[in-house]
Amino acid sequence: MKTQMKMYVSCALFALLMNLIGLIIAGCGSMPMSRDAATVGQSTARHTETASPVIRFPLGAIDPTGKGGGLLSVSRPGEELWVIAKPVVINEDRNNATTPGTGALVIEQPRDPLHPDGEKITVPIPLKHTNVKAKIQAYIATVDVTQQFQNPYDSKIEAVYVFPLPENAAINEFVMTIGERKIRGIIREREEAEQIYLAARSQGHNAALMTQERPNIFTQKVANIEPGKQIDIQIRYFHTLAYADGWYEFHFPMVVGPRYNPAATAAGTGIGAVGRNKSGLSGQTTEVAYLRPTERSGHDISLSVDLDAGVQVEEMLCNSHQITRSNNNGRSQVAIAAQDTIPNKDFVLRYRVAGDTIKSNLLVHRDSRGGFFTLMLYPPRDLRHLPRRPMEMVFVLDCSGSMSGYPIEQSKRAIRHALQNMNGQDTFQIINFSNSATQLGDRPLAVNEANVRRAMAYVDALQGEGGTEMITGIKAAFDFPQSEGRQRVVTFLTDGYIGNEAEILGEMHKRMGPARVFSFGIGSSVNRYLMESMARVGRGAVAYIGPNDSGPEIMDHFFQRISKPALTDIELDLGSMKTRDVFPRRVPDLFVGRPVLLVGRFEGEPPGQIEVRGMAGNERVAMKVNVQAMQHDASATVNGQAIGGIPAVWARMQIQSLSDQMTHTQDHQGELAGVIKQVAIDYSLMSAYTAFVAVDSSRRTEGAVGTTVPVPVPVPAGVKYETTVQE
């Protein structure tokens, strides 16, 4: 926080400086302008709010004595003087404005900030509605998201919206709709797409650009939306559903939680969290603007799920939202109820299918490119008789400001339950971190009544405040000698609201040794990319505890999972089916209640039975597993090439696997980056190195380039604005 404060002060000083320059230039406005002066005038006449992290400004041009010279004197005759201004400047003038242009359609009325639950100010924003339609077939979801952008102002705008999607989403369709016209976007290398977009925007064309900031955070830009006009962006993605402890889970994230960027985060690489109309304040290239507690926007969301599980759905549960449900021809239709349409929390739908019908499942798909498969491999029941090794349990609790309130209370309930259910032969430790890390004892404690009582008191006293210096928690969790003869199991309980994921994962990989990591995502809009990645890197598993979930119940599942040895060093024999390019490269360990998902290419015929070999504790085991081979719906084809899910899911998992390697090596521009780029382009997929761009070249809008307007979003349900958002 201290660093962020410093950054704030620096930004404010810079803004002041730039205002001064603005005044100098304004003063020149009435003078006959030379070419140089005219250029300066153009470049400063319209600042926009788009984040512009790199600034080159001829500071030497400013005469601090005020005795003459000044800005314009730096350029000699015949030279151009270019002033590249940070967009913060204009925001200082517009902090309380509701409109980007000249006219205000809505007047902001003062409200009592001490009573945020009272009547709220309606803020006009350029995103009217989001519509989500999901279709689930077996364990693959096809999701269509339509974002309806509109311009509620009286001048032209560019809308910028930072939004989340599932971290494993294979995004491969992008369509811009203007009136009845539908323009399909093209996947391009990211820089190329950005250049195309900028050129189209500057020439007045309607254009849209979608880029990836994290595997679960994206930026949508829509240029030159004229007053009163609407432009829709439709995105299609595929993803595999999670399965845990008997339940399938479909989730759709609705808002990016406010990220904390530690002091060491490289400039511009984090994700900023700022108040509405405070763009540029965080110093990050990607910024999320949040509505204040006293504000609301008209943006709402509708979401429906068409579920074809293939077998009878026995039970369905949605703890996140009120839903309506109907059944039709063996399919279930679920929709968010009309009274629960504020997009401020993840939608999480869980369902359980008929008891004994769960078995390992092979989905195959063939097209002109060859065969693709996904294999959901369930843990064999035979593992359940095997005893486990004694453990060293390390609970790491995030006590930062974003956890303040019910998230930390949920975490504490879960830890208390865990403390009461530990095995007498285990040891334990509790570590909490915010600005720094502290811990219960200087070494792991034995599980006995006195130590558990002491731990309970320690946990009771914890509160959420301060920054999220997660690295300190990582170091504290791994940087001490491991107890001999015990398996170290580290559980992280956090909302994951940090902007330096790559650094966290890199450190974890470097330090974890033989430990296993289990991550618990706490809250209504968890950073699932971080949680899933931590579990993957840590060879453990992930679980989520939402506001209405039972922490103790989920902790029970965790204990069941670790109470039996995982099946490790797994090898598969798929008989006559010849496989290649299987991801993940190394088959993850199998835990009780947790299947693993493999994807790959194949030739030959899918078998009815496969052999699984591995180690359970010190025992070598081999077992036959029956598989159901199903042909995924491949009816939608173009040129004989499927536009269906499995090839896209395969390509997406390949990208994920390569990205993990990249995180471990911390090389983000090397050979791996090139491979990711090529896979993404070949399969028309969004990635860190590719982007979708769509331009309507048939028409130009009138007037100058529109003002950039970030779409402000509510803070996630249960998260406090005051402790998480920069003002």
Partner 1 sequence: MKILICITMLMAAAASRDLMTHRAASAQSFASALSDSAPADLADARQEVAAQRAVRFASVDVMIDTKDLPLAVYQLEFSATKEIVKIVGIEGSSHEAFREAPHYDPQAIQRERVILAAFNTAAADKLPRGKVRIATIHLQITGDVEPVYQVNASVIATVDGKPIDAAVTVQTTRAPL
Strand partners, 151: none
Residue 721: closest CA among 408, 355, 144, 290 = 290
Q: In angstroms, what is the minimal distance from the CB of 284 to partner 1?
A: 12
Q: How far is the CB of 308 from partner 1 (least distance, A)?
A: 22
- DSSP secondary structure code for residue 153 in this structure: S
Sheet strand arrangement including 567-573? 567-573, 609-616, 619-626
Per-residue tokens: 702: 């009138």
- Give yes or no for a contact between 254 and 164, defined as CB atoms under 8 angstroms apart: yes
Max Cα–Cα distance, the chain, nearest Å? 90
| Residues pairing with 297 in the sheet | 123
Q: Please report how close the Cβ of residue 43 comes to partner 1 at its closest, in angstroms.
A: 5
Report DSSP state, residue 703.
S
Count of CA atoms in the C-beta half-sphere (13 A) of 450: 2
Measured from the CB of residue 374, what is the shortest distance to partner 1 in angstroms? 21
Residue carrying structure tokens 């320690």: 458
Identify the three-state secondary structure at position 241: coil
Minimum CB distance to partner 1, residue 713 (Å): 21
Type and span of the H or E element at 26? helix 2-28
Q: Which is nearer to partner 1, 148 or 421 (CB)?
A: 148
Q: Which two tokens stand for residue 343?
A: 């997009």
- Nearer to partner 1 by Cβ, of 610 and 695: the residue is 695
Q: Shortest approach of partner 1 to residue 440 CB, angstroms?
A: 46
Residue 7 · residue 273 · CB < 8 Å: no
CB of 131 to partner 1, least distance (A): 17
What does residue 446 show for φ and ψ, rounded to 5 degrees?
A: -70, 150
Contact positions toward partner 1, by CB under 8 A? 39, 42-48, 50-54, 56, 82-85, 87, 175-176, 180-188, 192, 194-196, 198-205, 207, 285, 638-639, 641, 643, 681-684, 693-700, 702, 704-705, 708
Kindly give, in sequence order, each residue whose CB lies less than 8 Å from that of residue 453, ignoring residues fewer than 6 positions away: none
Q: Report the alpha-carbon distance of residue 265 to residue 3 in Å, rounded.
A: 11
Q: Would you mind telling me the total number of residues written for the chain in this entry? A: 727
Q: Which is nearer to partner 1, 133 or 352 (CB)?
A: 133
The residues with which 516 forms a beta bridge, in sequence order, are: 489
Closest separation between CB of residue 555 and partner 1, Å? 45
Buried-exposed string 351-368: b where 16+ CB fall within 10 A, e elsewhere? bbbeeeebebbbbbbbbe
Residue type at position 343: P
Chain centroid, CA 549 distance in Å: 21
- Residue 73's φ and ψ, nearest 5 degrees, are -75, -10
Alpha carbons 272 and 279: distance in angstroms, whole number = 9
Question: For residues 19 and 39, which CB has a smaller minimum distance to partner 1 in the complex?
Answer: 39
Closest contact distance (angstroms) between CB of 691 and partner 1 is: 12
* Shortest distance, position 136 Cβ to partner 1, whole Å: 22
CB nearer to partner 1: give 543 or 693: 693
Sheet-wide strand order for 578-583: 578-583, 596-603, 370-377, 361-367, 628-631
Closer to partner 1 at the Cβ: 460 or 702? Answer: 702
Q: Cα 419 from chain centroid?
A: 31
Name the minimum Å distance from CB 57 to partner 1.
10
Q: What is the CA radius of gyration of the chain?
A: 27
CB of 161 to partner 1, least distance (A): 16
Give least dist CB 502 to partner 1, A.
20
Task: Quote the CA–CA distance of 721 and 192 in Å, as a whole number.
Answer: 37
| C-alpha torsion sign, points 700, 702, 704, 706 | negative
Angle between helices 645-665 and 671-682 (to 10 degrees): 170
Q: Positive or negative CA dihedral for 51, 55, 59, 62?
A: negative
The residues pairing with 333 across neighbouring beta strands, listed in sequence order, are 306, 326
| 501-511 and 645-665 helices, crossing angle to 10° | 70
- Compute the least distance from the CB of residue 427 to partner 1, in Å: 51
193 versus 715: smaller Cβ distance to partner 1: 193
Q: Please, what is the minimum distance in Å from the beta carbon of residue 708 to partner 1?
A: 7
Nearer to partner 1, 98 or 224 (CB): 224
